Amino acid sequence: MDLATDHDGFLWIATQQGLIRYDGYTFRRYTHDSDNPASLAEDYIQTLKVTSDGRIWIGTSSKGVSIYDPKTDSFTSLAKLSDRQSLTSRILSIAENTQGEIFLGSTHGLFKYIAQQEAFEPIGLLSPTDELAKGLQILSLSFDDRENLWVGSNKGLFVLPAGKLQMLAASAFKVKASDVETFDLLSRDIKALKFMADGRLWLGTRKSGAGVIDLNTRQLTKLRLPYLQGKPKAINAIEQVSDDELWLGMYNEGVYRINLHDYGDIELVSNNNAQIGSISGNKINSIEVDASGVIWVGTRGNGLNKYLPNEAFVTKYIDVDNTKHLFIRDAFQTTDGTLWLGTDKGLRRYNLDSGDLSAFIAHPDSVTDLSQSTVVGLGQIDDQHLWLSTKQGLYTVSLENNMVEKVNTASVMANTLIAEGKDKLWLSSAQYLYRLELNTMEMSRFYYQNQQGVEEDISTILPLLKDNRGRVWLGSFRGLFVLEPGAEHLIKVTDVANQYTFDGTIALALKDDTLWFSNASGLFSLALNSLKDGKASVKKAPLKVTRANDRQFSNLQIDSQGRLWEASLMYDPISEQTFEFGRADGVDVGADWVGSFGKLSDGRMAFGGSQGLLITTPEAFTPWQYLPPIRLTDFQIDRLSRTVDSAGIVEISPEVKSISMDFAALDYSAPELVNYRYQLVGFDQDWVTTNPKKRSVTYTNLSPGNYSLIVQATNRTGFWTAETTLITFQVLPAFYQTWWFRTLMLLMLILTLYLLVRWRVKKLSEQERIQNEIVLASERAALMEELVEKKNQLLADVSHELRTPLTVLQLKVEALQNNLVKDVGASYDSLMSKIGEINCLISDIYQLAQSDIGALHLEPRSHNCLQTFSCWADEIADAVAVKGFTWQQSITLTPSCCATFDHDKIKQVINNLVDNSMAYTDLPGSISFTVKEVRKGLEVVIEDSAPGVSKVQFASIFERLYRVETSRSRATGGSGLGLSICKSIVEAHKGTITASGSPLGGLAITIYLPMQAN
């Protein structure tokens, strides 16, 4: 019955079965519910009006008016008159002025809504005694820009200016009374009224057609509608669909499209079952234009029609046959401006100026009339003839007399024809490339020869073109080929980088020095100047397409800006943008045929297919930029739909388990191409992408807090809208989720943990104390055992060390007592030597003891290192030489090098180490003495020759009373305390002493002394 678009962008449809809201995906029906006073008053709806406050006034058939409030998703019914009677008449029209006053037109007259009384007051257009007042029905209402209410009735046209009633007679518009036709227009049923911003009022009648009144001049012009001579011209709807065009909805004939500038270019759009996209029925009830420009047409008994606003670059779509579609195989414009179409049912001629399409009628004397021929290729060599290729061979058509003649060549069905000058014609067939010499009618065949010189089948040749260097390019299922000027064989072209293959090349186009071609892998560009020996530099275009199509550019044309076009696709190499076209753009040629295209002389492009021909104007192209609003279409709590105020914060009780939200972007032009992404702020960390089929989101068991659902959507061309917050809600906490309850629980937990920790700490402390006592007792026992063991070992070692000299003393003394010694003096000397050894041993033990208790006395002084160590070296050298060893020394010190150390103690260390070397080194052996500066200190190295010491003994030789040999014989070893004493002296100087293998074959002792010892 009626259509309307509300402030949110939803489309509303009035029917006899209720009110329907459409969001591009889902139809939501509202009906009368006797148990719900907030439901629709009646299902039979006559008219709709969206008022300035966003509400929808709904005129019913017998129950007055229902008012829909989108904020509450509920209805308020009004049927009371000011005299307390009920409004039971059919509401046929509703109008609102700028003050928000509402007027109703019904079968019982005109009414005004009195908001204070919530009732309707009748307005008498005529005196009750007036003959016209009887049976007066108000069919249409419209306010003009001066707040005059125009009233269309079954008794003619009225105007209500500032509360004053006036009937418009013919003389009021300066129209002669003798003009019966014009008077008839005003005296009949005025079914539709539409005031335009230019000051004109359009009116449609039930039987007399349409007219327009210039309200400034009061001139009435009746619109003369062609096609309907002798038929009733009933008009139910008037709608301005663009700045330039007006649509009239006819009761039984479809839609008239009228040019608003001169009321010319009138076109009748009516149902045609043979034409895809035709209007579904001719009984038009209403016309509505939404915010994006989509035109909606409601019919009686044939549903709702959607007409998409064609972009300006789509200038014409042709249904080439009234009874069935012809498959257009090729399109070619001859020099006389005629566009020729090769189809599967012969040849067609299309006049680009008049839009007339006609079948080609051959001259009676022609060899064939071509009516049953499949014309696959078209071309022109001279201005007098059209060349065409069919399955039966090659033909020419005289453009003067339509004479068809067959070219006397082999029956070659050429997919593409290209003229070279006036005497050559290139043809591409299923397997070969041909050149026809028109002067001699000789046909030359060219084929591909592989590297072994064998001819290979290159399968079906599809596109063919000639570049500005005289080379002929062709594409086939086997790849891309080129014929150089003067060559006899084709060359297969490959990518110099071996990155791409060109099998299935189905389209070619040339722009300057760049060849563009396409196959199932995509779109490619080839630099002509890079071709060498069949290899060329090739780049792949970064196409971004959403449609599933293995032939994205099956027909390829280039406009003056270098953009590449196909019927439903355009690629701009400069911006690298891809634009896809579909029915929303007025583009639909059905199944395409490779090679079915043609470039027109004015820059336009023609593309053919199974459903007709599309002619585009590339220079007029502008991308679809409408950004649709995003709306919340449903809000469910635990699977039950709820009405919410999206402007405020919705509170959700803690018992709720699930929350579901549906949304839609209201781009009705192609909702299936809209993409979405959403984020529930407070829960989702990032955007969630979804498609048009999944526009419902559900969240379960949300934690207490505030949440906002924000959604973004694209329009049909992929441009994203701004973020839209659809709803904000707060999940309330249960008592156990409140802050005070959680705080109390936290305090109790802390107290419990504190008591538990205290108990545990106390218990662990007691266990640790007992364990420590056990460990301490065990350690003490082990230490005591170790000390006793060391003491016993020390006593044993000292006893052993003392027993040998004491035994010798005892024997010497007994020998002297018994006068057994011949040389008494020598015996006394020997006794003194042994006593000295005992004294040295006791002295060493004492010195180590002093070191252990930290009582080792040092007298550090600064010494000139070069003088001191050189002096010591000279002294030692003599003693070493006497023992029969070779002495080597290397003292690399600067004259100014000074260090602080105890002179006697360090000398004692060096003497001990040299004595050890002399004691343990086999004769003849070598002893080396090296001194140098390193790391702010001195490095002293004393080395000797074999025998050496194993690596496992390096760390042990500094232990007390340790000897390398196991015999402990005093003949080869000392007391075993010398190296221990050396270590204690060096460490007392904050230095280090280590043992290692010597390159001489023996042992190397390395001492490091800091320059400044503390």
Percent of the chain predicted with pLDDT > 70: 87
Which amino acid, one-letter code, is at 993?
Answer: I
Please give the residue that has the higher pLDDT: either 855 or 986: 986
Full DSSP string of 260-314: TTTS-S-EEE---TTSTT--S-S-EEEEEE-TT--EEEEESSS-EEEE----TTE
CB atoms within 10 A of CB 104: 29
CA distance 35 to 52: 30
| 3-state SS class at 372 | coil
CA distance 70 to 154: 34
d(CA 165, CA 178): 26
pLDDT in tens, 657-685: 999 999 999 999 889 989 999 999 999 99
Q: Which of the pair, 277 or 639, is modelled with greater confidence?
A: 639
Residue 674: name the closest of 636, 715, 702 by CA.
715
Amino acid at 58: I
CA 216, 48, 249, 616: dihedral to nearest 10 degrees?
A: 90
Nearest partner of 374 among 345, 394, 416, 341, judged by Cα: 345
Which stretches within 698-738 are classed as H helix?
none
For residue 37, the one-letter residue type is P
Q: What is the mean pLDDT of the chain?
A: 85
d(CA 404, CA 129): 79
pLDDT at 67: 96
Measure the CA–CA gap between 140 and 204, rounded to whole angstroms.
Answer: 10
Reported as a pLDDT band with limits 50, 70 and 90, residue 645 is confident
Residue range 544-548: mean pLDDT, rounded = 69
pLDDT at 166 over 80: no
3-state secondary structure (DSSP) of residue 588: coil
- The Cα–Cα gap between 757 and 740 comes to 25
pLDDT digit string, tens, across residues 101-142: 999 999 998 999 988 888 898 887 777 777 777 888 999 999
Residue 793, pLDDT score: 63
Residue 188 tokens, joined:
């009949």
Provide φ and ψ at 245, rounded to 5°: -135, 140
Higher-confidence residue of 311 and 409: namely 409
| Run of H or E residues at 602 | none
At 297-352, the pLDDT tens digits run 999 988 999 888 765 555 555 554 544 567 889 999 999 999 999 998 899 988 88
Question: 229 vs 760, which has greater pLDDT?
Answer: 760
Residue 431 pLDDT exceeds 60: yes
8 A C-beta contact, residue 837 and residue 805: yes
Give the pLDDT confidence of 209-222 residue by residue, as tens digits.
888 888 888 788 88
149-153 and 138-143 beta bridge pairing: antiparallel
Give just the sign of the alpha carbon dihedral 242, 248, 253, 254.
Answer: positive
Contact (CB, 8 A) for 646 and 663: no
Closest CA to 211 of 201, 200, 196, 222: 222
pLDDT given for residue 352 in this prediction: 82
pLDDT number for residue 322: 47
- 3-class secondary structure, 837: helix
Please check the confidence at residue 727 and state whether its pLDDT lies above 90: yes
Those residues whose C-beta lies under 8 Å from the C-beta of residue 488, and which sit 6 or more positions away, are 446
Q: List the one residue out of 269, 251, 261 whose CA is nearest residue 209.
A: 251
Instruction: Give pLDDT, residue 338.
Output: 92
Q: What is the C-alpha to C-alpha distance for residues 45 and 20, in angstroms, rounded to an integer?
A: 11
Handedness of CA 919, 921, 926, 928 (dihedral sign): negative
Q: For CA atoms 359, 360, 363, 365, give the dihedral sign.
A: negative
Q: Across 453-586, where does the E strand assignment appear?
A: 455-456, 461-466, 472-476, 479-483, 489-495, 507-511, 514-519, 522-527, 535-536, 538-540, 557-558, 564-566, 569-572, 577-580
Nearest to 926 by CA among 965, 973, 876, 885: 885
Q: Using the predicted structure, report yes or no on whether residue 511 has a pLDDT greater than 80.
A: yes
- Please check the confidence at residue 982 and state whether its pLDDT lies above 90: no
Q: Give residue 962's pLDDT band: very low, low, confident or very high (50, 70, 90).
A: low
* Buried b or exposed e, range 951-973, using 16+ CB within 10 angstroms: eeeeeebbebbebbeeeeeeeeb
Phi, psi angles (nearest 5°) of residue 883: -75, -10
Instruction: For residues 835-864, give the mean pLDDT.
Output: 71
Tell me what pLDDT residue 583 has: 77
Residue 228 has pLDDT above 60, yes or no: no
Cα distance between residue 661 and residue 87, in whole Å: 39
Question: What span, in angstroms and rounded, lies between the C-alpha atoms of 327 and 608?
Answer: 8
pLDDT in tens, 368-395: 999 889 999 999 999 999 999 998 889 9
pLDDT value of residue 788: 77
Alpha-carbon separation of residue 113 from 19, 40, 80, 103 (angstroms) = 22, 19, 10, 6
Beta bridge partners of 247: 239, 257
Coil, strand or helix: which one is 360?
Answer: coil
d(CA 261, CA 257): 12
Structure tokens at 998: 């010597």
Question: Among candidates 307, 179, 325, 212, which has minimal Cα distance to 255?
Answer: 307
By the 10 Å C-beta count (0-12 exposed, 13-18 middle, 19+ buried), 103 is classed as buried
Other C-beta atoms lying within 10 Å of the C-beta of residue 109: 19
Q: Which of helix, strand or coil describes residue 126?
A: coil
The residue among 348, 281, 282, 293 whose CA lies nearest residue 319 is 348
Please list, residue by residue across 549-567, b when 16 or more beta carbons sit within 10 angstroms of its beta carbon and e when fewer do. eeebbbbbbbbeeebbbbb
Confidence of residue 170 (pLDDT cuts 50, 70, 90): very low
pLDDT at 615 over 50: yes
The residue behind tokens 């509170």 is 651
Strands 569-572 and 564-566: antiparallel
List, for residues 33-88, the tens digit of each pLDDT value.
999 999 999 999 999 999 999 999 999 999 999 999 999 999 999 988 877 778 88
Contact 810, 818 (CB under 8 A): no
What pLDDT, on a 0 to 100 scale, did the predictor assign at position 184?
A: 56
Measured CA to CA, the distance from residue 905 to residue 294 in angstroms comes to 109
Residue 274 pLDDT greater than 60, yes or no: no
pLDDT value for 313: 56
Confidence band, pLDDT 50/70/90 cuts, at residue 837: low
Which tokens in the block code for residue 504?
């299935």
Give mean pLDDT, residues 414-420: 88
Confirm if 602 and 336 have CB atoms less than 8 A apart: no
State pTM to two decimals.
0.67
In this model, does residue 277 exceed pLDDT 90? no
**Structure tokens that stand for 228 in this block:** 């309907």
**CA dist., res. 870 & res. 443, Å (int):** 113
Q: What size, in residues, is the chain?
A: 1014
Cβ contacts of residue 500 below 8 Å, gap of 6+? 521, 524, 538, 540
Which position has the token pair 């906490």? 733
Within 10 Å of residue 835's Cβ, how many Cβ atoms?
A: 13
Give the type of residue at 181.
E
Per-residue pLDDT at 718: 84
Residues 346, 328 contacting (CB under 8 angstroms): no
Phi/psi at 354 (nearest 5 deg)?
-90, -20
| Burial classification of residue 736, based on how many CB atoms lie within 10 Å of its CB (0-12 exposed, 13-18 middle, 19 or more buried) | exposed
- Give me the residues paired with residue 114 across strands: 119
Alpha-carbon distances, residue 460 vs 93, 474, 503, 506, 609 (angstroms) = 65, 10, 11, 10, 20
Cβ-contact 923, 987 below 8 angstroms = no
